[in-house]
Structure 1
Amino acid sequence: MRALARKGRSAVVRLYQGYERRRSRKAPPPTTRQIRILLLHANGMGGTIRTVFNLASYLAKDHDVEIVSIIKEAEHPFFPIDPRVKFRHLDDRLKPGLNPLRAMLSKLPSRLIPKGEPAYHRFNLWTDLVLTRYIRSLDTGVLMGTRPGLNLAMAQLARPGVITIGQEHVALRSQAEPVQELVKWRYRRLDALVTLTKADLRDYRETLPKQPRKLVRIPNAVPPMTGEPAKLDAKVAVALGRMTRIKGFHRLITAWQTVAAAHPDWKLRIYGAGPQEESLAQQVEELGLQGSVELPGPTSDVGAALEQASIYVLSSRHEGFPMTILEAMAKGLAIVSFNSPHGPKEMITHEGDGLLVKPRTNANLASSIIRVIEDEKLRRDLGARALETARGYDPDVIGQKWDKLLAGLLARRSGTRARRSPASTNAAQDSRRDAETAVAAGDETGPVHARPAPVEVRPQSP
């Protein structure tokens, strides 16, 4: 029976591969006119969402841009978005509806997204189905992923006529080992992989046995903000970010206890929300810092929050390319940051446009903050040079790098399109796995019935 089942499955896969070859021959020519960007939750808040909105706004000047959100758990976007950018939500969780198939699959864990992906718990078998159907519905244009799970799915499922670009907002070394193993083998199928830092670019070059057709670093651009540069006369230090362990806000509050003892007239404001919000408030109370540390919640007006401060503090355990540093630089704040080996270390010149502190050393963080508080000349010099640094991340400067990448990918694809097919693009084993995945998950253009449960995506093996 097992041998018969294997033969039957092989026959289905061969039929599907033949279907794929026929469809690829009829596909429209490659184009960069349409750009779709995959996001986990476009209506949420976070650095990745803000930077994607920023990029989408720039690209919308010359392209038809759509942000495709896998889930929808808030009615409206938290951050402002260019009206030229379109939105699509694949799983609207505000309207569960009466679909019995959706109700059943939403209770089952994802088979498409690897378990080591930080957002694995946000996906399920229903999101596997709708994401697979969406990716397989595209014949041409550009499809961009913004996190490992989405990049891996895109590399596995995108049709040959689609130009695929993976964006990485988190360092490769910080990914779980199983995810890194998948990255090594699947990312080679992408047309391009874009990293934010030189360190991460180097890691990918050293780690991937076979690299994507284009591996390039393009940092984030400074997003538009309200107001003017900070005057640096407010006795306020500020931090922004989602209240999770990685942001190290517990360490920052501990360090601030030393700062508050030396300078009780200064305040620390931590903007954000998240799972640690309650425990952070409890820590503030236990340390007796209620009058010195404020937790005002999240803000969509980052410019106003930064303009009302003089010092920006980044206490994260590790970061990819923290947008908040760019935003603080653009406001001319004096920056004190843990010396994370990727983003902060590349973005900040120690003693030039900010101060870098040995990671996870609360005493050193406190002493550096105190130093900036007590030395007004240093504070203003750091802020002035930060403004100069921020100009190198102007949206037009960064946007031109994206224009060049897209033009190069289109030229390459136009010249090689006739030679590409699902069977010849990569190894036969990869092609077979993709066909199995698409057949099992259900292709929107093929017969899809109420049997998506046998999805055979196995992210544990490369």
Structure 2
Amino acid sequence: MRIAFFSGDITRSGGTENVSIMIANELAQDNAYEISFISLFEEKPEPFFAIDRRIRREALYPQVTHGIQHYFDTVARLKRAVARLGAQVVIDIDGILDMYALPLKRRGVKVISWEHFNYLQNPLVPYRKFTRKWAAHSANAIVTLTNADRQLYRNHLNVRCPIIVIPNPMHLPEPAPAYDPKSTTIISSGRLTYQKGFDMLVDAAATVLPKHPDWQWLILGEGEDRPMLEEEIAKAGIGNQLVLKGRVADMDAYYRKAAFFVLSSRFEGLPMVLLEAKAYQLPIVSFDCLTGPAEIVQNQVNGLLVKDGDIPALASAVESLIQDSAKRERFSSHTLDDASRFDMASIIGQWKTLLAGLR
């Protein structure tokens, strides 16, 4: 079976790109599948996450292009790319891409809409609501990351296709990490965008860090909000402690040296960064935003969930872990209690079952 994963830009360093590449790489190891990536464009010469050498990559445009402004041309370019690759199935790794892929069904191509946010969120593009309705009516399947999101689809739309829940996988690092209770480093990770709520994180850090001058908080990632965040950090006078590290090549080293992980997102699907933190046996502090964190973090067992958007509560939770190394160790010891739910072999098996049903 020839499968094309369709992306906005597969060279990005976000969680969507990370999990898509993980799934594609696993499928590529099976000779029953021929895998490729098609992007609207590729801003970087090489992807941030390593792609299996057997996987082909194509970009519809040679430069950054907003496809909606060239809608019919984008659909035509996608049709030609799919034909060149001989793809029988297109997996849209962002639901907004359904608008370009669903017209391919007229040519016998199967289309899977893979939802990485949640149904109630429409980040950046208001017409995402339209594409979700179109996918519910016309896609061959919709994949959500959580049962809660599947129910949201069923509650709000007249869904005519199967909705399959397949969570993101958790990759256990080798060698196994050894948690360091003496670490004084907090990490957060993600694109510097409105969704990730780093502006709220700065406010929380401004409350906590000055009281603990020996602690440092690192934000790993890059994005359009960097100038605003730099300004806010400077205003708070915490530039020596709260550091924007940008895109880092060796995430493994940062996870292994951290005391705990903090997520400040306004909304998520099932955040890969929390699964990564969990895999490295890090305690987690997170906003309990709709869908995602509560399926990964057991409150007061392996981390702390605080009310969505409550900045003082986030600051208080962070400070409680700074002050209590025994609690950090206890949380770390329970991070892998439910690891089997996110086992890669199980999740790939679910994807293969879905693909087999499309034959």
Same fold (TM over 0.5): yes
> How many equivalent pairs are there?
354
Task: Tell me: CA distance 1:140–1:91, structure 2 relative to 1, closer, same or farther (3 Å).
Answer: closer
1: CA distance, partners of 2:171 / 2:55? 16
Task: Tell me: CA distance 1:299–1:353, structure 2 relative to 1, closer, same or farther (3 Å).
Answer: same
1: CA distance, partners of 2:229 / 2:20? 29
Aligned partner of 1:338 in structure 2 is 287
Give 1:305's match in structure 2, choosing from 254, 258, 262: 254
Task: Tell me: CA distance 1:319–1:198, structure 2 relative to 1, closer, same or farther (3 Å).
Answer: same
Task: Tell me: CA distance 1:227–1:310, structure 2 relative to 1, closer, same or farther (3 Å).
Answer: farther
Give the secondary structure class of the aligned counterpart of 1:320: coil
2: CA distance, partners of 1:145 / 1:270? 29
Maintained 8 Å contact 2:210/2:238: no
Aligned partner of 1:83 in structure 2 is 53
Residue 147 (1) aligns with residue 106 (2): no
2: CA distance, partners of 1:205 / 1:56? 28
Give the secondary structure class of the aligned counterpart of 1:404: helix
Give 2:35's match in structure 1, choosing from 49, 52, 65: 65
Q: Which amino acid aligns with 1:400?
A: G
Unpaired stretches in structure 1, ≥5 consecutive residues: 1-32, 95-105, 113-124, 411-462
- Please state how far the C-alpha of 1:218 moved relative to its aligned partner: 0.1
* 1:110-138 residue CA offsets vs partner (Å, 9 max, x unmatched): 253xxxxxxxxxxxx64343124335667
2: CA distance, partners of 1:182 / 1:44? 23
Aligned partner of 2:159 in structure 1 is 210
Aligned partner of 2:69 in structure 1 is 110
Q: Which amino acid aligns with 2:109?
A: V
User: 1:6-405 alignment to 2 at 5 Å?
Assistant: 33-62=1-30, 63-93=33-63, 110=69, 112=71, 126-135=73-82, 141-159=88-106, 161-175=108-122, 178-212=127-161, 214-223=162-171, 225=173, 228-229=176-177, 230-405=179-354
- Please state how far the C-alpha of 1:361 moved relative to its aligned partner: 1.4
Please tell me the root mean square deviation across aligned C-alpha atoms, in Å. 2.2
Q: Which amino acid aligns with 1:259?
A: V
Maintained 8 Å contact 1:339/1:357: yes
Task: Tell me: CA distance 1:108–1:143, structure 2 relative to 1, closer, same or farther (3 Å).
Answer: closer
Higher relative contact order (CA 8 A, sep 6+): 1
* 1:422-462 residue CA offsets vs partner (Å, 9 max, x unmatched): xxxxxxxxxxxxxxxxxxxxxxxxxxxxxxxxxxxxxxxxx
2: CA distance, partners of 1:139 / 1:303? 37
Give the secondary structure class of the aligned counterpart of 2:336: helix
Identity within the alignment, %: 32
Maintained 8 Å contact 2:67/2:74: no
- Please state how far the C-alpha of 1:37 moved relative to its aligned partner: 0.7
Maintained 8 Å contact 1:227/1:303: no
1: CA distance, partners of 2:183 / 2:247? 20
Q: Which amino acid aligns with 1:234?
A: S
Give the secondary structure class of the aligned counterpart of 1:173: coil
TM-score, length-normalised on structure 2? 0.91
Q: Which amino acid aligns with 2:114?
A: Q
Of stretches 358-367 and 172-181 in structure 1, the one that deviates more from structure 2 is 172-181
Aligned partner of 1:28 in structure 2 is none
- Please state how far the C-alpha of 1:383 moved relative to its aligned partner: 1.4
Residue 408 (1) aligns with residue 357 (2): yes
* 1:240-283 residue CA offsets vs partner (Å, 9 max, x unmatched): 01101111111111111221133221110001111111221222
Q: Which amino acid aligns with 2:281?
A: G
Maintained 8 Å contact 2:144/2:164: yes
Maintained 8 Å contact 2:87/2:109: yes
Task: Tell me: CA distance 1:409–1:356, structure 2 relative to 1, closer, same or farther (3 Å).
Answer: same
Unpaired stretches in structure 2, ≥5 consecutive residues: none
Q: Which amino acid aligns with 1:283?
A: E
- Please state how far the C-alpha of 1:80 moved relative to its aligned partner: 1.4
Maintained 8 Å contact 2:58/2:81: no
* 1:285-322 residue CA offsets vs partner (Å, 9 max, x unmatched): 22111221111111232222211101100001111111
Maintained 8 Å contact 1:165/1:192: yes
Give the secondary structure class of the aligned counterpart of 1:194: strand
Maintained 8 Å contact 1:321/1:342: yes
Maintained 8 Å contact 2:172/2:279: no
Q: Which amino acid aligns with 2:50?
A: P
Task: Tell me: CA distance 1:231–1:82, structure 2 relative to 1, closer, same or farther (3 Å).
Answer: farther
1: CA distance, partners of 2:203 / 2:120? 28
Give the secondary structure class of the aligned counterpart of 2:289: coil
- Please state how far the C-alpha of 1:339 moved relative to its aligned partner: 0.4
Q: Which amino acid aligns with 2:8?
A: L
1: CA distance, partners of 2:141 / 2:246? 37
Q: Which amino acid aligns with 2:285?
A: V
Give the secondary structure class of the aligned counterpart of 2:152: helix
Task: Tell me: CA distance 1:301–1:72, structure 2 relative to 1, closer, same or farther (3 Å).
Answer: same
Q: Which amino acid aligns with 1:277?
A: R
Task: Tell me: CA distance 1:140–1:64, structure 2 relative to 1, closer, same or farther (3 Å).
Answer: closer
Maintained 8 Å contact 1:39/1:145: yes
